[in-house]
Amino acid sequence: MEAPLSIRVQLEAVEARTLSPLAARSAESRGRLQPEEECDLRPAFQHDRDRILHSKAFRRLKHKSQVFLSPSGDHYRTRLTHTLEVAQIARTMAKSLRLNEDLTEAIALGHDLGHTPFGHAGEAVLNQIVEGGFRHHEQSLRVVDILERLNLTLEVRDGILKHSKGMGLILPQDEAEKALTLEGQVVRVADIIAYICHDIDDALRAGVLKAEELPAEAVAQVGRTHSSRIGSMVRNLVGTTIREDDGGLHLTPEMTAAMVRLREFLFDRVYGNPRIRRDFDRARRVLAALFVAVVEDPDREEYAAALGPPENGDRIPAAVDFLAGMTDRYALDLYDKLFLPRPWAVL
């Protein structure tokens, strides 16, 4: 009697029947860093998604800043909620375009695993003091490859590495900047949509912005509410991509211009706001001091057990991994222990 097909094989067959010809298929993955026997229940990309979700680096995202440093309000985004919003937006677009949702979600959940504490302020510190610079997307790949050894598929690893854009084009033209899969390219756009929309929402909640200050021409294109802004951007990408039907992702020129304008507005009025910059300037000093302490005195009892071994005698990679992996509150607590005086206990 012939053995029944594994659940994974059946799910791979569903992918083959239902996904777009442009979608990445689990059964056709380019493989993992280390060959391994595949799960009998989960296709490769679903398995990757689960590995990321259960990683320690993913859990730490809940205590890493997005824009507002260690916000006390319950409704401000953290790096974790940002990641979840990126995953939701990316899955909506992937499903509409009949792309692989498991691959899309895996990339989205893993894209910021290497992000520093204190948001981009932390990244800026490490970028200044580390020879060769520091880029969180490269650190995210180091997390999954070396620090947590998740042994992910090439497609997920590539999407994580190429998600970052800074102030670059929303839809890059250079093939070297594009993810190998459309799913990875979708995550890049979803990341931009997510942070434009939720950073505006958080800034309005915090009183850093007023609704009437948003650029009028961009608001006319995307809408006046948080949900309308997300919805208009997502619908524009899906509709324009289907209409163009040339194997790539597309936005209309008007939507692209509106997103670029809103992003520029955020950099000017929110990320550069003096109230926010003051806190992050302090955070920069905290990380810079911790970096010096860890490199110069790696055996201190406060962190020796958590600090990884040097690489070929070089302490800096372990120090960078240690600092980049910190949560905001861990960094502040460690700084307090190392640098702030303690009152004497007088009997």
Closest CA to 65 of 202, 258, 222: 202
* Token pair for 317: 């990679």
Overall average pLDDT of the 132-139 stretch: 94
Judge contact between 102 and 51, C-beta under 8 A. no
Mean local confidence (pLDDT), 95-116: 98
Confidence of residue 124 (pLDDT cuts 50, 70, 90): confident
pLDDT-wise least confident of 47-56, 65-74, 218-227, 316-325:
65-74
b (16+ CB within 10 A) / e for 94-116: bebbebbbbbbbbbbbbbbbbbb
What confidence tier does 288 reach under pLDDT thresholds 50, 70, 90? very high
More confident residue, 346 or 173: 173
Greater confidence, 284 or 345? 284
Q: What 8-state DSSP symbol labels residue 65?
A: B
- Report, as an integer, the average pLDDT of 131-157: 96
282 within 8 A of 332, measured Cβ to Cβ: no
Q: What is the pTM of this model?
A: 0.95
Strand ranges inside the chain, DSSP E: none
Residue 199: count other Cβ atoms within 10 Å of its Cβ: 23
Which domains can be identified in the chain, with CATH numbers?
A: 7-272 (1.10.3210.10), 277-306+313-339 (no CATH)
By the 8 A CB rule, do 238 and 96 touch? yes
Amino acid 71: pLDDT:
67
Q: Nearest to residue 258, comparing CAs of 223, 303, 296?
A: 223
Those residues with Cβ within 8 angstroms of residue 132's Cβ, 6 or more apart along the chain or in another chain: none
Q: What is the mean pLDDT of residues 333-345?
A: 89
Q: Hey, what are 59's tokens? A: 């859990």
With cut-offs at 50, 70 and 90, classify the pLDDT of residue 143.
Answer: very high
